[in-house]
């Protein structure tokens, strides 16, 4: 394990390039996607007297703006990795292509250090490709790899070609993310907390953030002000895993101030809200504050699955939340409900029942395909039947695992579940 906190704390007077790599996958959706951890680190290094730059392959590879934080992203078909060769789907590089990435790098000042972030463990192909290009354009410059993949797959990350790998939570005084490094950003992202108080068996939040910590509200407001200063940003998405926990003391005053300072601002929750926290007062506050899209964390109507999700919701609490949100003025189209599919031990019939339950009560189900996340109980259960997961993160790809590798459902059955959910959403 490696903790580079002291190394970063001492860094000063250097030129630092931060890189968000392209994504190698069957599919990719840029929904409010920003490398927030990297941006916090770049801001800290800048405050310490370093000069920082950002090369975001996803942002720079966008081909057009879609609604509410979604960008259309360039894609280039690439060969499928050998372990995924049997899956009848095309595989792509999403974001800047190889040559355009080189051109972008050559326009940057020569760095003293390069920081590469990583997201999904099964996106490491884009990370490896990115580091190889960096080696060729900036030979001899130290490359430091961090992010989700580096944290959850530290041994595998040693194959990346990076000189240093951050595998522990950084013990640093993070203040604001360096979102000002983006030019032409049309939306902002906010985190009011780090971590999550729940311990869902399929989630790695507690592994990445061992404790649930609140940001200073003054810093959150300063963060929002920085992103809104251009006048082009009119929507903010909350990145919190548990936005509504302690809402009366933390979130409500923050929303009131945001509403006063920025009337007409559109707010969004791409991460699922815990429905147990949504009562009449909460729904009214969310509506008054300008929330335009809500994702609800329900996952399943199956009691066994609800238990695996830390018992954070029940059917009754979900229905109560829907009723409160509708009474507050939210339309059904503004609310989507996450339903998990492909979790070890979960049947197709269980997912069908959950979709039907949501549809019968007017909700809009959205299928979230399960991906085994290293370090979680659900990963251990998945690896018991597919041991190769322990050595090859690509096998945890949600497209590959849930429909082709796990054996719990066929590709046809999974597509039928998606069609069932989509038919209800489109009504």
pLDDT tens for the 427 residues of the chain, in order: 588 999 999 999 999 999 999 999 999 988 788 999 999 999 999 999 999 999 999 999 988 766 666 778 999 999 999 999 999 999 999 999 999 999 999 999 999 999 999 999 999 999 999 999 999 999 999 999 999 999 999 999 999 999 999 999 899 999 999 999 998 888 889 999 998 888 888 888 888 988 888 999 999 999 999 999 877 888 999 999 999 999 999 999 999 999 999 999 999 999 999 999 999 999 999 999 999 999 999 888 888 787 776 677 889 999 999 999 999 999 999 999 999 898 888 889 999 999 999 999 999 999 999 999 999 999 999 999 999 999 999 999 999 998 898 877 888 998 999 999 987 654 4
| Together in a domain, 269 and 194 | yes
The residue segments making up the domain with residue 256 are: 187-427
Judge if 269 and 136 occupy the same domain.
no
**249 and 142 share a domain?**
no
Identify the domain boundary among 153, 174, 195.
Answer: 174
Structure tokens at 329: 């003025």
Tell me which residue of 297, 289, 290 sits closest to 241, measured CA to CA. Answer: 297
Model pTM score: 0.94
CA 104/CA 280 separation, integer angstroms = 50
The reply to whether 168 and 200 lie within a common domain is no
Task: Please identify which residue in the block is written with the tokens 């979230």.
Answer: 368
SS3 246: coil
Q: Regarding beta strands 70-73 and 62-65, do their DSSP bridges make them parallel or antiparallel, or are they unpaired? A: antiparallel
Distances (CA, A) of 253 to 246, 249, 276, 324: 11, 7, 20, 20
Closest CA to 318 of 268, 273, 252: 273
Question: Around Cβ 280, how many Cβ atoms within 10 Å?
Answer: 13
CB 3 within 8 A of CB 164: no
Residue among 89, 131, 97 nearest 114 (CA): 131
**Residue 259 sits in the same domain as residue 142:** no
Same domain, 162 and 205: no
Question: Which residue shows structure tokens 């997201």?
Answer: 119
Residue 320 in any domain: the answer is yes
Q: Same structural domain for residues 194 and 142?
A: no
Provide the 3-class DSSP secondary structure of residue 419.
helix
- 310 lies in the same domain as 356: yes
In a domain, 84, yes or no: yes
**Which tokens sit at 83?**
């372990």
- Whether residue 256 lies inside any domain: the answer is yes
Confirm whether 143 is domain-assigned: yes
Non-local (6+) Cβ contacts of 98 within 8 A are 129, 133
CA 89/CA 44 separation, integer angstroms: 41
Q: Is residue 22 part of a domain?
A: yes
The 8-class DSSP code of residue 402 comes to I
C-alpha pair distances (Å), 212 with each of 51, 239, 240: 31, 14, 10
CATH of the domain at 143: 3.40.50.280
Domain shared by 271 and 324, yes or no:
yes
Asked if residue 181 is part of any domain, the answer here is: no
> Do both 140 and 248 map to the same domain?
no
The count of structural domains within the chain is 2
- Burial pattern 43-70, b for ≥16 Cβ within 10 A else e, equals bbbbebebebbbbbbbbbbbeeeeeebb
One domain, residues 304 and 426: yes
Where is the domain boundary, 119, 141, 174? 174
- The domain spanning residue 278 has which CATH number? 3.20.20.70
* Residues ≥6 apart with Cβ < 8 Å to 55: 17, 18, 19, 20, 101, 104, 105, 108
Q: Which residues pair with 366 in a beta bridge?
A: 338
Q: Is residue 87 part of a domain?
A: yes
Residues 247 and 170 in one domain: no
Last residue of a domain, one of 131, 150, 174: 174
Q: Which 8-state DSSP code applies to residue 179?
A: G
User: Residue 179 domain-assigned?
Assistant: no
């Amino acid at each position: 394990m490696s903790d580079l906190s002291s190394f970063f704390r001492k860094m000063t007077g250097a030129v630092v390039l931060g890189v968000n790599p392209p994504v190698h996958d069957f599919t990719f959706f840029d929904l409010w996607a920003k490398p927030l951890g990297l941006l916090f680190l770049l801001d800290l290094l800048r405050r310490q007297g370093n000069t920082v730059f950002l090369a975001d392959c996803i942002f720079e590879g966008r081909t057009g703006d879609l609604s509410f934080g979604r960008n259309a992203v360039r894609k280039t078909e690439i060969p499928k990795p050998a372990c995924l060769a049997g899956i009848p789907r095309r595989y792509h590089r999403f974001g800047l292509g190889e040559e355009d990435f080189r051109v972008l790098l050559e326009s940057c000042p020569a760095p003293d250090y390069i920081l590469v972030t990583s997201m999904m463990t099964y996106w490491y192909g884009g990370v490896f490709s990115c580091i190889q290009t960096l080696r060729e354009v900036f030979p001899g410059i130290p490359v430091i790899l961090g992010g989700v993949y580096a944290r959850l797959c530290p041994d595998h990350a040693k194959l990346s070609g990076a000189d240093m790998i951050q595998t522990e939570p950084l013990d640093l005084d993070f203040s604001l993310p360096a979102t000002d490094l983006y030019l032409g950003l049309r939306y902002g992202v906010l985190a009011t907390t780090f971590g999550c108080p729940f311990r869902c068996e399929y989630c790695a939040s507690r592994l990445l953030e061992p404790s649930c910590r609140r940001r200073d509200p003054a810093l959150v407001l300063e963060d929002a002000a920085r992103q809104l200063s251009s006048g082009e940003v009119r929507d903010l998405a909350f990145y919190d895993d548990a936005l509504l926990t302690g809402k009366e003391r933390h979130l409500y005053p923050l929303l009131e101030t945001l509403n006063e300072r920025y009337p007409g601002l559109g707010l969004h929750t791409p991460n699922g809200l815990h429905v147990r926290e949504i009562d009449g007062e909460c729904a009214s506050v969310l509506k008054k504050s300008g929330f335009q899209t809500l994702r609800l964390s329900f996952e399943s109507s199956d009691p066994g699955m609800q238990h695996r999700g830390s018992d954070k919701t029940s059917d009754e609490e979900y229905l109560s939340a829907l009723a409160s949100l509708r009474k507050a003025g939210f339309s059904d189209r503004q609310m989507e409900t996450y339903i998990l599919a492909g979790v070890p031990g979960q049947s197709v019939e269980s997912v069908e029942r959950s979709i039907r339950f949501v549809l019968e009560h007017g909700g809009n189900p959205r299928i979230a395909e399960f991906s085994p996340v290293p370090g979680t109980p659900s990963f251990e259960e998945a690896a018991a039947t597919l041991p190769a997961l322990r050595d090859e993160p690509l096998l945890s790809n949600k497209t590959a695992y849930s429909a082709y590798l796990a054996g719990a459902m066929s590709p046809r059955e999974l597509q039928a579940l998606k069609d069932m959910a989509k038919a209800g959403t489109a009504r």
